[in-house]
């Protein structure tokens, strides 16, 4: 019996899922939020029950100790030795990692070196690694990189059309993100298509963050996020693609400084920025239903930006066998799927199955047999991918 814990450590949070890898079941899952504040919140789900406590958890190390002690107290494990592997989500793997890797000193040094590309994420990911290493030193540790799946992009897709020296000297290029999700979902779709030798798939990961990926024969050939997760479609609080001259104008004419501009584009833009209501798609939809014009505009822009990438990737792939919707909006909003499909159905010959779209649950096909492209809903499962890679690399 091999137990593996999948960990996603953020700057002030730590999400976890403990798997029994023999049958890939989730034994328990939870999250520690507001680490470092007086009112941190520790939530754990086990046996259908949710237990939430508010208390001060000053550091990630204390969060991990608390989590592991709770596993023992609740008899979820009888000894911490049962946990054979810890899989860590790492946001930026740069060009070093096209695959997951067992974490050793060299891997730690590379993740640390890449922090300039992911200043909020890579240091937090390492903090999570150190905390588990201290608490359960005998468990193996694996890093699963958000960027790894996109390392198959060719230079013509990842080099920006700016002076080449910025790529060679500073590593400025497209890296993409959400790779673990795009990989999981595209593999599921290939399965659902009956494992054909060749396949052309567009994955639309639409959540608080969002990205689309063109996947040819199982490999990412292009993706909408860029140097950082700010690029691509409009998101909850991120602008996605905009003309870079806007930045210069905001600095020179509006008087913002560089930090303020990047903060605004990352945290105050997207659905939130346009609607003025919320970054949460449900809230924006509710406001639009009540007649809020800016909320309607925000939703309209969001859909247009998504279909623009579907169009690009349809061309880049030379056609498309299947489109897959995933993540919070993609999995749960029948409205978003229907509107997006409506906007592309005439061009691409897609025929939606309204009943499957609106009333179905979980992983499913939502187009009719006569549709030229199959459209699927595939709930993403990044944690399972992390746990699988951890098991595989550690030979558990």
Residues lying near ligand AMP in the complex (CB under 6 A) are found at 207-208, 236, 280-282, 327-329, 332-333
What is the nearest approach in angstroms of ligand AMP to the Cβ of residue 156?
Answer: 30
* Beta-carbon contacts of residue 72 (< 8 Å; ≥ 6 apart): 78, 79, 80
Of the pair 101, 144, the CB lying nearest ligand AMP is at 144
Rounding to the nearest 10 degrees, give the CA dihedral for residues 379, 385, 388, 392.
Answer: 150
Contact 159, 173 (CB under 8 A): yes
Of the pair 30, 207, the CB lying nearest ligand AMP is at 207
What is the nearest approach in angstroms of ligand AMP to the Cβ of residue 72?
Answer: 30
* Beta-carbon contacts of residue 275 (< 8 Å; ≥ 6 apart): 284, 287, 292, 294, 295, 297, 298, 299
Distance CA 147, CA 4 (A): 22
Tokens of residue 159, six digits: 């080099």
Distance CA 280, CA 283 (A): 5
- How many alpha carbons fall within 13 Å on the CB side of residue 261? 16
Of 146, 257, 289, 355, catalytic: 146
Of the pair 152, 266, the CB lying nearest ligand AMP is at 266
* Beta-carbon contacts of residue 213 (< 8 Å; ≥ 6 apart): 149, 150, 176, 178, 182, 186, 202, 203, 205, 220, 222, 223, 224, 313
What is the nearest approach in angstroms of ligand AMP to the Cβ of residue 332?
Answer: 3
What is the nearest approach in angstroms of ligand AMP to the Cβ of residue 340?
Answer: 13
Contact 92, 118 (CB under 8 A): yes
CA 282, 284, 289, 290 dihedral sign is positive
What is the nearest approach in angstroms of ligand AMP to the Cβ of residue 281?
Answer: 3
- From the list 265, 290, 280, 276, the residue with the least C-alpha distance to 336 is 280
- From the list 35, 44, 39, 37, the residue with the least C-alpha distance to 9 is 35
Distance CA 188, CA 194 (A): 10
Of the pair 298, 327, the CB lying nearest ligand AMP is at 327
Distance CA 251, CA 257 (A): 6
What is the nearest approach in angstroms of ligand AMP to the Cβ of residue 124?
Answer: 17
Of the pair 152, 333, the CB lying nearest ligand AMP is at 333
Of the pair 65, 280, the CB lying nearest ligand AMP is at 280
What is the nearest approach in angstroms of ligand AMP to the Cβ of residue 354?
Answer: 17
Q: Does the annotation count 23 as an active-site position? A: no
Tell me the residue number closest to ligand AMP, measured at CB: 328
What is the nearest approach in angstroms of ligand AMP to the Cβ of residue 381?
Answer: 12
Q: What are the E-state strand segments in the chain?
A: 3-9, 14-20, 25-33, 40-46, 49-55, 83-90, 101-102, 140-145, 200-206, 210-216, 219-223, 322-326, 364-365, 374-377
Contact 14, 66 (CB under 8 A): no
- Is 202 strand, coil or helix? strand
Q: Which residues are catalytic?
A: 146
């Amino acid at each position: 019996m091999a137990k593996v814990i999948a960990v996603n450590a953020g700057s002030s949070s730590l999400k976890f899922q403990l798997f029994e890898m023999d049958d890939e079941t989730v034994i328990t899952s939870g999250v520690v939020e507001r680490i470092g504040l007086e009112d941190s919140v520790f939530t754990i789900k086990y046996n259908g029950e949710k237990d939430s406590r508010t208390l001060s958890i000053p550091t990630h190390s204390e969060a991990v100790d608390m989590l592991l002690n709770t596993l023992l107290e609740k008899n979820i494990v009888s000894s911490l030795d049962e946990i054979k592997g810890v899989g860590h989500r790492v946001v930026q793997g740069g060009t070093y990692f096209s695959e997951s890797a067992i974490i050793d000193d060299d891997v730690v040094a590379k993740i640390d070196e890449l922090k300039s590309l992911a200043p909020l994420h890579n240091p937090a990911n390492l903090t999570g690694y150190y905390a588990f290493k201290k608490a359960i030193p005998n468990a193996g540790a694996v890093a699963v990189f958000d960027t790894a799946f996109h390392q198959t992009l060719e230079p013509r897709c990842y080099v920006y059309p700016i002076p080449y020296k910025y790529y060679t000297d500073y590593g400025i290029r497209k890296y993409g993100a959400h790779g673990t999700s795009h990989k999981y979902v595209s593999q599921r779709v290939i399965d659902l298509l009956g494992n054909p030798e060749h396949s052309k798939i567009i994955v639309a990961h639409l959540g608080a963050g969002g990205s689309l990926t063109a996947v040819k024969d199982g490999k990412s050939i292009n993706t909408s996020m860029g140097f950082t997760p700010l690029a691509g479609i409009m998101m909850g609080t991120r602008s996605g693609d905009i003309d870079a001259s806007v930045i210069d104008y905001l600095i020179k004419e509006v008087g913002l400084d560089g930090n303020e501009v990047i903060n605004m584009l990352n945290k105050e833009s997207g659905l939130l920025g346009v609607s003025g209501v919320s970054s949460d798609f449900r809230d924006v939809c509710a406001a639009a239903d009540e007649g809020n014009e800016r909320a309607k505009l925000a939703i309209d822009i969001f859909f247009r930006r998504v279909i623009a990438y579907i169009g690009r990737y349809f061309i880049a792939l030379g056609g498309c066998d299947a489109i897959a919707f995933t993540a919070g909006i993609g999995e749960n909003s029948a409205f978003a799927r229907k509107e997006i499909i409506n906007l592309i159905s005439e061009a691409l010959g897609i025929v939606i199955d309204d009943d499957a779209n609106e009333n179905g649950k979980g992983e499913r096909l939502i187009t009719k047999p006569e549709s030229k492209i199959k459209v699927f809903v595939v709930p993403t499962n990044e944690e399972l991918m992390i746990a699988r890679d951890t098991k595989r690399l550690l030979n558990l």
